[in-house]
Amino acid sequence: MFKIIIHKSALLSIAFSSLLLIPIANVFAEDNVVLERKTLLEKATQMPSTSVNTKVIKVTFPPAFKTPLHTHEGSGPRYVIKGNLKVADKSGEKTYTSGQVFWETGEEMTVENIGQGSAEIVIFELAPIK
């Protein structure tokens, strides 16, 4: 009966050497990954002040929920993460779905979840510092 003794350093050397046998092309298969950048909304706007309080707020609307008539402290873009939201303000009613962005003026408005499940929105609010 033969006994084979392998030292840890020898085992590590064999393991690392075997890694060198992997084709380099497979290691760098992700080289063709391209960053995608897409402008969702661009709007020139006048701020009432040079000092602005910026908030990023995530809101989840339960199914069939409708806000009362309300305003926010400031205008800014709104990004719909998921769901279907009907926004009504003095300019009329518009429906926004997942991935869409709209500009809220800060005027009185209502928002209603008209989808089957919950809806989520991110509010980017730009308000003057008081």
Classify the phi-psi angles of 15: left when phi > 0, otherwise alpha if psi is within -120 to 50, otherwise beta: alpha
37 three-state secondary structure: coil
What pLDDT shows up at residue 37?
A: 86
- Collect all residues with Cβ–Cβ distance below 8 Å to 58 and sequence separation of at least 6: 81, 120, 121, 122, 123
User: Comparing 9-18, 24-33, 72-81, which segment has the lowest mean pLDDT?
Assistant: 9-18
pTM of the model: 0.70
Separation of alpha carbons 60 and 111, rounded Å: 12
Q: How many domains does the chain have?
A: 1
Separation of alpha carbons 122 and 55, rounded Å: 10
28 — pLDDT class (breaks 50, 70, 90): low
Separation of alpha carbons 72 and 4, rounded Å: 76
Structural domain containing residue 107: 1-130
Q: What is the pLDDT of residues 71-125, one digit of tens each?
A: 988 899 999 999 999 999 999 999 999 999 999 988 999 999 999 999 999 999 9
CATH code for the domain in which residue 93 is found? 2.60.120.10
